[in-house]
Amino acid sequence: MSELTYPLARQRPFDPPDELAELRQQAPIHRMTYADGHQGWLVTGYAAARAVLADPRFSNRPERMHPPIPARLDLTKEMREQFRVPPGFFLRMDAPEHTRFRKLLTGQFTVRRMKQLEPRIEEITGACLDRMAASGKPVDLVQAFALPIPSLVICELLGVPYEDRDQFQNDTKVLVNLETKAVDAIAAMQRVSAYLYGLIQRKRAKPDDDLLGGLVESGELNDEELTGVAFLLLVAGHETTANMLGLGTYALLTNPDQLALMRDDPSTVDNGVEELLRYLTIIHLGPVRNALADVEIEGRLIKEGETVTISLGAVNRDPERFPGGDHLDVTRPAGSHLTFGHGIHQCLGQQLARVEMRIGYPALLRRFPGLRLAVPPEEVPMRSDMSIYGVHSLPVTW
Ligand code: HEM
């Protein structure tokens, strides 16, 4: 039995756990013991991660997975049966079921469509910065900037009233908290689903000119499926980018030369965003997959039924792919990072996230050239307890 369990504890705020780097040095793939005793695998090498994520012989269905960490161990067999993948929650489906949903949505998230949103995202960002300037200092950058921008944008895009955000922001936090009990996670999921189901019904009665309204009109999905799609887009659409904006700003504030490049040299911004995505890899745990057949990856035989956890944090620091990758360098070619995943589940919203960050970072840094932490760095509360890493709050002044 392997002595290795999934390493979660970080020694420094921007680096993945040191143990992962040591493991990666030894091999790209390792035997790992899962929270229920299952003997599965941990991937730390870049090429091995791409191979697993691109291979249709690995499933993403939750009922096949063994838990990599001891979270939600109160999940009983009955609960598991009762709460299979909600209809429409296509992240946890395999092809061809997944393909049907993905095809319906791909056109809504193209580079061109996201480009059209730029003026509105600039407006939203400007309004957040105005409010922040007016509010007096210090402020918590998460509440003033990092969270409202992606939340407002995804709400407008989907057609979810932003005034209703209390109905989903708190529950989203519950869902991404690794310490949440299964019973509480299910309750949170049910609350958000009930809210979104009601919203879909209202859109059915009175069609709206937004993404969810368009999906209702298309007649392709039933109300349960629409609820699952809305759930996935809403949760994935704000919590992730919010943490990139918060943690990314913290990383820049502690790397002033990199900050200056992002603020003063517009030609650095697009690449700088990719580098921040790579360096920070906010996906703290996973992706996780389960083998549908025996598959050989980098000389190791993964047997049918075995679970594989990929540490994107380790993978994005693989020196074979990113030499010197433990340093933040906004001029480094970082575009091949795996922060958005790879293969059929590669992030649907990545272009939206990019636009929000390409607008957000430079706008913040130019508006507040004297921006700095308002507390000693060691007092910034890190989200080590969340499946999406970042900062719980970021007190700043200027
Ligand atoms: C910096 C921000 C973001 C990061 C780091 C991120 C990361 C990821 C990753 C790693 C996956 C793949 C998970 C897996 O393979 O198991 C994924 C999938 C997904 N993401 Fe994102 N994401 C971000 C922003 C967004 C946004 C803004 C949206 C908004 C719509 C979004 C929607 C989705 C959806 C719908 C999927 C599932 C795709 C599928 O299964 O086909 N994400 N994301």
Q: 3-class secondary structure for 271-330? A: HHHHHHHHHHCCECCCCEEEECCCEEECCEEECCCCEEEECHHHHCCCCCCCCCCCCCCC
How confident is the model at residue 82, as a pLDDT? Answer: 63
Cα separation of 336 and 325, whole Å? 13
Pairing outcome for strands 58-59 and 29-33: unpaired
pLDDT of residue 237: 87
Q: Which amino acid is at 100?
A: R
Residue 232 Cα, ligand 1 centroid: separation in angstroms?
A: 9
CA of 77 to the centre of ligand 1 (A): 28
Q: Look at residue 81 in the predicted model and tell me its pLDDT.
A: 67
* ∠ Cα 191 194 196 (to 5°): 110
pLDDT of residue 83: 61
Q: Whose CA is nearest to atom 31 of ligand 1?
A: 349
Residues near ligand 1 (Cβ within 6 A): 60, 90-91, 102, 232-233, 236-237, 240-241, 244, 282-283, 287, 339-341, 345, 347-349, 352-353
Q: Is the peptide bond before 138 cis (omega within 30 degrees of 0)?
A: yes
Residue of the CA atom closest to atom 42 of ligand 1: 349
For every residue of the chain, which 3-state class applies, written as one string? Answer: CCCCCCCCCCCCCCCCCHHHHHHHHHCCEEEEECCCCCEEEEECCHHHHHHHHHCCCEECCHHHCCCCCCCCCCCCHHHHHHCCCCCCCHHHCCCCHHHHHHHHHHHHHCHHHHHHCHHHHHHHHHHHHHHHHHHCCCEEHHHHHHCHHHHHHHHHHHCCCHHHHHHCHHHHHHHHECCCCHHHHHHHHHHHHHHHHHHHHHHHHCCCCCHHHHHHHHCCCCHHHHHHHHHHHHHHHHHHHHHHHHHHHHHHHCCHHHHHHHHHCHHHHHHHHHHHHHHHCCECCCCEEEECCCEEECCEEECCCCEEEECHHHHCCCCCCCCCCCCCCCCCCCCCCCCCCCHHHCCCCHHHHHHHHHHHHHHHHHHCCCCEECCCHHHCCECCCECECCECCCEEEC
Residues 160 and 234: beta-carbon distance below 8 Å: yes
Q: Which atom of ligand 1 is nearest to the CA of 356?
A: 27
Q: What is the pTM of this model?
A: 0.96
Ligand 1, atom 23, lies closest to the CA of 240
- Between the CA of 236 and the centroid of ligand 1 the distance, in Å, is 6
Atom of ligand 1 nearest to the CA of 233: 30
Ligand 1 centroid, distance to 240 Cα (angstroms): 8
CA 349 to centroid of ligand 1, rounded, Å: 6
Question: Per-residue confidence of the chain (398 residues) as pLDDT tens digits?
Answer: 889 999 999 999 999 999 999 999 999 999 999 999 999 999 999 999 999 999 999 999 988 889 898 877 777 777 766 666 679 999 999 999 999 999 999 988 888 888 889 999 999 999 999 999 999 899 999 999 999 999 999 999 999 998 988 878 888 888 888 888 888 888 888 899 999 999 999 999 988 889 999 999 999 999 999 999 999 999 898 889 999 999 999 999 999 999 999 999 999 999 999 999 999 999 989 899 999 999 999 999 999 999 999 999 999 999 999 999 999 999 999 989 999 999 999 999 999 999 999 999 999 999 999 999 999 999 999 998 888 999 999 999 99
